[in-house]
Amino acid sequence: MRIQATESILLLVDLQERLLPAIAHHDTVLANACWLLAVARILEVPVRVTEHCAARIGVSAPVLRTALNDGEIVEKRHFSAVPEGNLLAGLDGAPRQWIVSGTEAHVCVQQTVLDLLAAGHQVFVVEEAVGSRRERDKALALERMRQNGAEIVSREMVAFEWLAHADAPAFSKVLKEYIR
């Protein structure tokens, strides 16, 4: 199945300032999540960002938080973002496809993905935009999510599928600014 911008939502899970330094390759994970956010903005794909126990772990990384609207940030206490029930607040209709990025791949990302799949959604996990403290945990999480029906994709796969064709109004802008 292909990813469609009109059916998608971008979910960035727990890219928080106090957690990120412990994540392997955290600078790359955060940069790729910000890249996805920027492309989503151009293509008007809705966005949700979770913050797990923000009072203890801190809010989203400053580079990410400054690019967000308050209504896009969802605080959570469950590891999965789904049980809280407020991911879709303020949206017109529920998206069918979830593009997922964040940390930790084997905890909050994985539990969220498994719950989204169980609810019947199509889920695409962006490999270079998820991370864990240990590489082995990330690898196992990606394998498990794939086995349960999530598709593991790259950020460019997402962008080009959102665009769909070279005549898309935003194609030149995305190509020039984000595809190098």
What residue ranges do the domains of the chain occupy? 5-178
Element of type H or E holding 12: strand 8-13
Q: What is the pTM of this model?
A: 0.95
How many other CB atoms sit within 10 Å of the CB of residue 83? 12
- The domain made up of 5-178 has a fold known as Rossmann fold (3.40.50)
pLDDT of residue 101: 98
More confident: 165 or 152: 152
3-state secondary structure at position 169: coil
Are 97 and 9 in contact, with CB atoms under 8 Å apart? Answer: yes
**pLDDT of 111 strictly over 80:** yes
Q: Which residues contact 105 (CB under 8 A, 6 or more apart)?
A: 130, 131, 132, 137, 138, 141, 142
The Cα–Cα gap between 22 and 158 comes to: 27
Backbone angles phi, psi at 17, to 5 degrees: -60, -35
**pLDDT of 31 strictly over 80:** yes
